[in-house]
Structure 1
Amino acid sequence: MTEVVSPAHIAESLTELWSPRVVAELDDSYVKVAKVQGTLAWHSHEHEDELFYILKGSLTIEMEDRTVVLHEGDTFVVPKGVRHNPVAEQECHIMLIERKSTLHTGNEVTAQTRSLAEQLRAV
């Protein structure tokens, strides 16, 4: 992927909630965008950190020992192994940077879990 992309415009165009799409890759990581609202699922990524960047709106990330609230322009890294649950009261657009080995909802499988093939679909 060597084209100029606008993560904000791509996130805006998405029609599915909690369905990340890969918009770029660098080394062993993917850059993904998603449109989210409601609750995803409690999960963790045993071997990978997960970077959240808020393109639009706000996102709460619940963790077992604390909760953080992110607003447009904010970034937060959930460290590997930390159980977390992303929640958006209103529609929120996010950008994620994750290692290519990162499973969408870790070892938890829900109706919202998306495979890597689904995340690699054209936008």
Structure 2
Amino acid sequence: MNRPVDIGEKLSLFSEHWSPKVVARLNDYEVKLVKVKGEFVWHRHEDTDELFLVVEGRLTIQLRDGDVTLGPGQLFVVPRGVEHCPVADGEVCAMLIEPTGVVNTGDTGGDLTADHDTSLLDDPDDS
């Protein structure tokens, strides 16, 4: 498709927290939007880095050796294998870029593990 992805529009289409939505694909990577609130679970992704880009709000990424706090327009890459735990005092809207098939809870699993959601992709053939 020859249409831009409108991040604000896509964010307006869902309200659940900690459930990333795929909005675009780039080679073997997925661009996901997510709304978060509260504390997630400590986890790691052994085989991949994970990029967080804050669109709205303030997100703290807890790391064992010191926290990183991001505001709108700021990004941080959690290196592969590094244990981390995102925390948001209020609602935060963020973009994630990670390889296709990455599970949001990494090696931890549990109740916050989200389904792979491609419902917001513009091209149904991309799902």
TM-score by length of structure 2 reads: 0.88
Which position in structure 2 is the counterpart of 1:120? 118
Say whether the 8 Å CA contact 1:56–1:72 is kept in structure 2: yes
CA spacing shift, 1:107–1:7, aligned 2, 3 Å = same
Which position in structure 2 is the counterpart of 1:32? 32
Say whether the 8 Å CA contact 1:12–1:35 is kept in structure 2: no
RMSD between superposed Cα atoms in Å:
1.5
* Letter of the 1:49 counterpart: D
Rg larger for: 2
**How far does the alpha carbon of each residue in 1:35-85 deviate from its partner, in whole angstroms, 9 at most, with x for none?**
110011100000110000000001000011110000001010000000000
Which position in structure 2 is the counterpart of 1:55? 55
Structure 2 runs not aligned, ≥5 long: 122-127
Which position in structure 1 is the counterpart of 2:87? 87
Say whether the 8 Å CA contact 2:19–2:115 is kept in structure 1: no
TM-score by length of structure 1 reads: 0.91
Structure 1 runs not aligned, ≥5 long: none
Which position in structure 2 is the counterpart of 1:107? 107
CA distance in structure 2 between the partners assigned to 1:21 and 1:54 by the alignment: 15
How many aligned residue pairs are there?
Answer: 121
* Letter of the 1:5 counterpart: V
